[in-house]
Structure 1
């Protein structure tokens, strides 16, 4: 039947009885569903009734599954944005947020930004990291950690299942070279103790929190 609930609100309604109770089930707005389609939907409902099944109850059972299926189509880029939004206020400063956003946009999104987060696998992660692992090792290691965090968030949020393909230990460490050997850390030489007085005087003349923090670390360091 056609239901008119206002000047412009018209929709199709399937009215039926089951178990001695009358029920009504919407079949869609007239703007989106024409008469022929409404008749097809009503016929499907009658087939369910002939099998002893309640069309409205079945729809309500299917809705959560449909919602879950749609949720699992959430893209990696959408999950990244949600993760950043959730942690933005807990990070040190705006520069840290900008680094997350810029590195993901430059290196990750072109490869898998539009893909469903549930479809992200090891091959895709290696494709992203492998392109810069040798030339920009430090950046690549940070990106790996960021991908891992986003995928962990997506798993906890119900948008994907299974192991995290971006984890390092026991996984990517078998596919990518050890970053410490690719770009070994070079420590700065220690300052001769005879020069510490002149260095501290120069440091005291410097402005900014970094100079104060370094002075504090030098003055409070404990020898073992």
Structure 2
């Protein structure tokens, strides 16, 4: 112990030894720090471990810290490696304290760009914030089956569809936390072999509620009324009805998707529910409708604001104002088409289902039958156009009562 308190207080620049590996380092600008110098047992090289700055660490405390380092060396413990390991353990422990809510936010941020529909982000945040209040502030490592069960059981019977989606979302967040090292063990939100023993099977609780649809017998009169409306949203509704597509597929139609020569409209995968391109044969009635829509030079057939198509709510608003169609939905016209095709035509079931973009065959068979299916589907859509509007520009379609 060569150093004294008065000397340390006014020591000049340089390295000043106290003995036992303890040194006071004084930089040219006057800053002082304590280090413990020792020889690495593996490499034989000298290493310096910082013990803290002066005057935060006084001489007496520095000697105690140096003594602890010598004690570690006698036990064949490297002081620097030991400190790094302690820091890593502390960081790991801190990361394990990440809350379920924080993990959910990180999971959404990591995946939102891969979700096709921007609404998915809002739906994820909404369901988790609304129904996972009891989990949000808890460390994700503490989430167990009982906690997940408590969150789900509150809505399992009354809001079964929402609850099943919520369970899947909780499971994915916890899987992400597990892979990221924030928790370990089995996923407490897993259904098979876990929650299935605590919650009733959702398929036995769900009440199937079909979207209200206009009876197909009323379609000709409805279309007669709809054709009297000339606003863009009414034209979009006509287009959706005649093509038997989903509302978002119809309102998002682009001119470049229309093949006038082949009389074919191809809905890209980005706008279909199945994430596969859907080819729609266009009837003469649909072609006449499209030719009557002003092409303003914009990409969308039904342009809205900011280079976007009109929203699906616009045709729905028109629908609700047409006498006799109150309470129905735009999506319900697909059911009207399906019922009409089954009851009033001899078209095959597979043709009808493919016209609705439902998967009915394997990839190999679908590729083999593509041209034949398109020809038969074109005949079906021609009959549907004639049933809805009568003969418009041609005379080959089936009559409305067929």
Q: Specify the TM-score bucket, using the shorter chain as the normaliser.
A: 0.7 to 0.9
Name the residue aligned to 1:122.
Answer: 145
What CA distance in whole angstroms lies between the structure 2 residues aligned with 1:37 and 1:195? 92
Name the residue aligned to 2:36.
Answer: 14
Name the residue aligned to 1:99.
Answer: 123
Give the 3 Å change call, closer, same or farther, for CA 53–6 of structure 1 in structure 2: same
| Alignment RMSD (CA, Å) | 3.3
Name the residue aligned to 2:136.
Answer: 113
Name the residue aligned to 1:207.
Answer: 233
Give the 3 Å change call, closer, same or farther, for CA 170–54 of structure 1 in structure 2: closer
What CA distance in whole angstroms lies between the structure 2 residues aligned with 1:214 and 1:155? 47
Q: Work out which of the residue numbers 137, 157, 163 in structure 1 matches 2:186.
A: 163
Deviations 1:12-46 (A, max 9, x none): 32222344532101224558x53355444322211
Name the residue aligned to 2:217.
Answer: 194
Give the 3 Å change call, closer, same or farther, for CA 105–23 of structure 1 in structure 2: same
Deviations 1:44-97 (A, max 9, x none): 211011223321233344544443333222221111111011112222444332
Name the residue aligned to 2:49.
Answer: 25
1:32-47 superposed matches below 5 A:
34-35=57-58, 37-47=61-71
Corresponding pairs, count: 222
SS of the equivalent of 2:165 reads helix
Q: Say which structure is richer in helix.
A: 1
Instruction: Indicate if the aligned counterparts of 1:73 and 1:116 stay in contact, CA closer than 8 A.
Output: yes
Name the residue aligned to 1:88.
Answer: 112
The answer on 1:217 being equivalent to 2:256 is: no
The answer on 1:148 being equivalent to 2:175 is: no
What CA distance in whole angstroms lies between the structure 2 residues aligned with 1:209 and 1:55? 78
What CA distance in whole angstroms lies between the structure 1 residues aligned with 2:45 and 2:192? 60
Query: How far apart are 1:11 and its partner, in Å?
Result: 3.8
Deviations 1:148-205 (A, max 9, x none): 1101111121222222111222321211122333332133576544334345566776
The answer on 1:52 being equivalent to 2:79 is: no
SS of the equivalent of 1:177 reads coil
Q: Work out which of the residue numbers 84, 89, 95 in structure 2 matches 1:71.
A: 95
Q: Where in structure 2 are there 5+ consecutive unaligned residues?
A: 1-22, 246-279, 282-337, 339-350, 354-402
Query: How far apart are 1:123 and its partner, in Å?
Result: 0.6
SS of the equivalent of 1:111 reads coil
Query: How far apart are 1:139 and its partner, in Å?
Result: 2.4
Structure showing greater relative contact order (alpha-carbon pairs closer than 8 Å, 6 or more residues apart): 1
If the length of structure 2 is used for normalisation, what is the TM-score?
A: 0.47
Instruction: Indicate if the aligned counterparts of 1:83 and 1:153 stay in contact, CA closer than 8 A.
Output: yes
The answer on 1:179 being equivalent to 2:308 is: no
